[in-house]
Amino acid sequence: MSLGLSIRRQNKGCETMPDIKIKNINKTYTDASGAPVEAIKDINIDIKDGEFVSIVGPSGCGKSTLLEIVAGLLEQTSGEVIVGDDTVKGTSRDIGVVFQDSALFPWKTVKKNILYGLELSKVPREEQEEKLKNYLELMNLTGFEDKYPSQLSGGMRQRAGIARTLIMDPKVTLMDEPFSAVDHLTRCTLQEELVRIHEKEKKTVLFITHDISEAVFLSDRVILLSPRPSVVQNEYKINVKHPRSRSDDYLVQITARIVADINRGAAAPENDYII
């Protein structure tokens, strides 16, 4: 290949046991008139323990559908998702989810929001306080613990939402466009913070974004979904150590390559997607 990029097709096995195994997942919705809407089609993805994988693809291709199925929030039409040793059959403490809108409780302080899950799980008060201190530091929120969400910027609210998920110590973290609602500079900072946390904790992350440079900057591997009905169109290994430079030649080239592949369009033969 002219750019010398390392690209793998779907369904190649991983060397170690995957932490997330997405096996032959299909999802067909029914629209308002009762007609079937085939969103995703026979998707197979293995994600290794500690790997950071992003899923990209055109709007409406089924990225959120796939994430919700992996999270146990939505039932697939067929196929299976395994997280760790268990088949996903509904939401679980092993699976942490962060959405675009952190959806904090407006009547609770940052501290109470972040500790919500630990309080529900009746974790001892001392352990809660210790974890809170760690995550406030990790997310650059120290000093803001007694503020209410309305007193925070959008970026800080999103940080608090991420802290609320990570403090539960999930086996895997799923993120659906978590930085879409913040301004560009905040978004860059949050991306750098996420890289720092991932380098430190080495937890498995499945990250959804429509921003190709964001996916390339963050990930060990980027998976491109085709337009609906969505299949895995391509995979791109990003073999660049962190911290990465946004102007790194390889990253810029691979970003351009993915954009070209998206513009080239569908791999799905029965593609009925219209932009």
Ligand X SMILES: Nc1ncnc2c1ncn2[C@@H]1O[C@H](COP(=O)(O)OP(=O)(O)O)[C@@H](O)[C@H]1O
In the complex, which residues of this chain contact Mg ion (CB under 5 A)? 64
Residue 2 vs 30, nearer CB to ligand X: 30
107 binds ligand X (CB under 6 A): no
Binding mask 52-91 for ligand X (x = CB under 6 A): -----x-xxxxxxx--------------------------
**Among Mg ion, ligand X, none, partner that 15 touches (CB below 5 to 8 angstroms by kind):** none
Q: Which of 248, 112, 86, 55 has the alpha carbon at shortest distance from 170?
A: 86
**Among ligand X, Mg ion, none, partner that 50 touches (CB below 5 to 8 angstroms by kind):** none
Residue 136 vs 258, nearer CB to ligand X: 258
**Among Mg ion, ligand X, none, partner that 84 touches (CB below 5 to 8 angstroms by kind):** none
Query: Which residues from 177-236 bind ligand X, rule CB under 6 A?
Result: 228
Site size for ligand X (CB under 6 A): 13
Q: Report the residue from 2, 13, 31, 150 that binds ligand X according to the rule CB under 6 A.
A: 31
Residue 122: CB atoms within 10 Å: 8
Q: Which of 228, 233, 200 has the alpha carbon at shortest distance from 55?
A: 233
Helix (H) or strand (E) holding 70: helix 63-71
Residue 10 vs 100, nearer CB to Mg ion: 100
Question: Could you tell me whether strands 221-225 and 52-56 are parallel, antiparallel, or unpaired per DSSP bridges?
Answer: parallel
**Among ligand X, Mg ion, none, partner that 37 touches (CB below 5 to 8 angstroms by kind):** ligand X
Dist. CA 63–CA 237, nearest whole Å = 19
Dist. CA 231–CA 25, nearest whole Å = 10
270 binds ligand X (CB under 6 A): no
Dist. CA 177–CA 179, nearest whole Å = 6
Helix (H) or strand (E) holding 133: helix 125-138
Q: What SS3 string covers 184-251?
A: HHHHHHHHHHHHHHHHHHCCEEEEECCCHHHHHHHCCEEEEECCCCECEEEEEECCCCCCCCCCCHHH
41 binds ligand X (CB under 6 A): no
128 binds ligand X (CB under 6 A): no
Tell me which residues touch ligand X (CB under 6 A). Answer: 29, 31, 37, 39, 57, 59-65, 228
